[in-house]
Amino acid sequence: MLGSDRSRPAFHQSYEIIRDKILNGDLPGGTKIVEEKVAAELGVSRTPIRESIRKLEQEGLIVNKRVVKPTEKDLRNMFQVRILLEGFSAKCAASYLQEDELESLYNCVEIGRKGAIEEIMRANERFHEIIVHASNNPVMIDIIDRMQSTIYLFRKTVVFYNRPHLIDEHEEIYEAIKARDGEKAEMLMKNHLQADLDFCLHLIGS
């Protein structure tokens, strides 16, 4: 039991290093993850590496010991779930978001216009997070949360390649939520995510 307790920091560190390498592109899609090799590189036993791989498989970043290389179908499936859940969440946000949360939402829009790439990434994530949590539905929140690592990959794509009108759409969603227009907020969020999907599909196909 003591050994198990001592292995937890090694697991967390290993998990974060491997995850970040995948998200940063240091381990591109299709790369085979060999437990012995990664353990040697990180100076840990195979146990925390095995646990890390298992967690990354649950998050959808590793499949059959290989870094995921999302297909067009994978992309469409993921966005279909996001469009349904986040569209509903935007409708809820128009009814339930408090003034301080609305202010945080607007701050995300402002950072999106003026920030550096990493700041825009964090603001983009926070914008969607505030809206998803407005659903007050723990099951929906958990589903989106488990998709976060994969969502990050595509969020990075739309920010890095400067998708047109991205922040304008965030501002329109914010304005609809502020005006307490749930139907409009839902429609705008669905259109926003569909535009993200179309942009990513275009890049994959080009």
DSSP 28-66: -TT-B--HHHHHHHHTS-HHHHHHHHHHHHHTTSEETTE
Amino acid at site 84 = L
CATH fold of 2-67 reads Arc Repressor Mutant, subunit A (1.10.10)
Label residue 136 exposed, middle or buried (CB < 10 Å: 0-12, 13-18, 19+): exposed
pLDDT at 6: 43
Mean pLDDT of 141-169: 89
Apex CA 205: angle with CA 202 and CA 68, to 5°? 100
Mean pLDDT of 120-125: 93
Distance in angstroms (rounded) separating the CA atoms of residues 174 and 180? 10
Q: Which residues contact 104 (CB under 8 A, 6 or more apart)?
A: 126, 130
pLDDT tens-digit profile of 38-80? 999 999 999 999 999 998 988 888 988 999 887 889 889 999 9
Cβ atoms of 204 and 75 closer than 8 Å: yes
Mean pLDDT of 154-169: 90
Cβ atoms of 89 and 132 closer than 8 Å: yes
The residue ranges of every structural domain in the chain are 2-67, 72-205
**Closest Cα partner for 52 from 9, 106, 96?**
9
pTM to 2 decimal places:
0.81
Count the neighbouring beta carbons within 10 Å of the beta carbon of residue 2.
6
pLDDT at 206: 58
Q: State whether CATH 1.20.120.530 applies to domain 72-205.
A: yes
pLDDT tens-digit profile of 169-182? 999 999 999 999 99
